[in-house]
Amino acid sequence: MVVMKLSQKNIFLLGSQEEYSLLKEWSNKEKKYHLNGWFHDKDIPASPKELVKEYNAMVGQNMVDHFVLDPSDMDSQMLQASLDWAESQGSRIHMIQSGTNKLSKKIAKKDMFGPFAAVRLRSEPLGSKKNLLIKKIFDITFSLFVFITIMWWFYPLVTLIIKLTSKGPSIIMQDRVGIDGISFRCMKFRTMVSNKAAEKGYSHLTLKDDKRITWIGNILRKTNLDELPQFINVLMGNMSVIGPRPHMVSEDKEIAEKIEKYRIRRFVKPGITGLAAIKGYRGGTENLSLMQKRIDYDIKYIEEWSVWLDIKIAIITFWHMITFRTGAH
């Protein structure tokens, strides 16, 4: 077994011997990537079901960050099965362009993956270093503004009220799933009776009328102010102001097993608020159709990100808070 750093990205290849050799040589030079699986394109089984079974057997428990495939010798059913499997893994998909395997100066960097000219299945604006920098500047600027105007007085006030009205810590730190599936310690005001499992991020789903919620917790939840400490997470770098809401570890695992393409939301940092949240798809729910809509909005955000979209979401979130329009589906 190969032990890898969290910063390394796993690559799985479906392609020829030549493509494997090229990708292996490149990944050995690029310490950021690790080629941890290869399926020879001449060994493709007879049915899509068998192909997926083979993929799962080869990958095992490893995460596949990048799925690279040469579709030139695949029929439509096998190709679709491969794409669906990769998306269920939360993989970025790169389809090698036939006849352009070797590096070419004529092809833009956004169409390259390693030594291959490749087409990406999904648009991902935050795959650009420039856009990532813009988002980081937005996150830091916005968070510092919140600290200067609100946090300095609101934080100690709420902390005192929570301490006086119920036993337990005023701030809880839960293990939640972030970018690339890496868990982090997410901060929030405690809104429920003290529960060690929930505080660590391993409790069951929190429902709308959950009896564990305290009276002050109910107010904080309805106004989304329980999330205010997460601006500290933003400044620490494991969250953004805007993005898909992070789920607890147990929730994330459960939902990923039930909803296809769920793991795509891990392409970006989780946010304090997001596109799904302003559409009303937030909070605890056991309704899979509502959760599916939430995931659809998360993916839409990832594919259509712009700084103007982030600003729009922030403004709408603020408006919902001051007008108490925070009802969730």
* pTM score, whole prediction: 0.86
Q: Phi, psi (5° rounding) for residue 328?
A: -115, 150
Secondary structure (3-state) at 207: coil
Q: Phi, psi (5° rounding) for residue 238?
A: -100, 5
The DSSP letter of residue 248 is: B
Does residue 70 have a pLDDT over 50? Answer: yes
Secondary structure (3-state) at 187: strand
What's the confidence (pLDDT) of residue 284? 65
The Cα-based distances of 265 to 88, 156, 301, 311 in angstroms read 11, 33, 9, 20
Q: What is the token pair recorded at 156?
A: 């100690």
Convert the pLDDT of each residue in 181-196 to its tens digit: 999 999 999 998 876 5
What's the confidence (pLDDT) of residue 105? 45
Does residue 323 have a pLDDT over 90? Answer: no
Residues 6+ away with beta carbon under 8 Å from 169:
190, 194, 199
Of the given ranges (52-56, 156-160, 232-236, 278-282), which has the lowest mean pLDDT? Answer: 278-282
Does residue 309 have a pLDDT over 70? Answer: yes
Residue ranges of the domains in the chain?
9-121, 129-322
> Was domain 9-121 assigned CATH 3.40.50.10700?
yes
E runs forming strands in 219-268: 240-242
Alpha helix segments (H runs only) across 63-151:
76-88, 129-146
User: In which band, very low, low, confident or very high, does the pLDDT at 152 lie, cut at 50, 70 and 90?
Assistant: very high
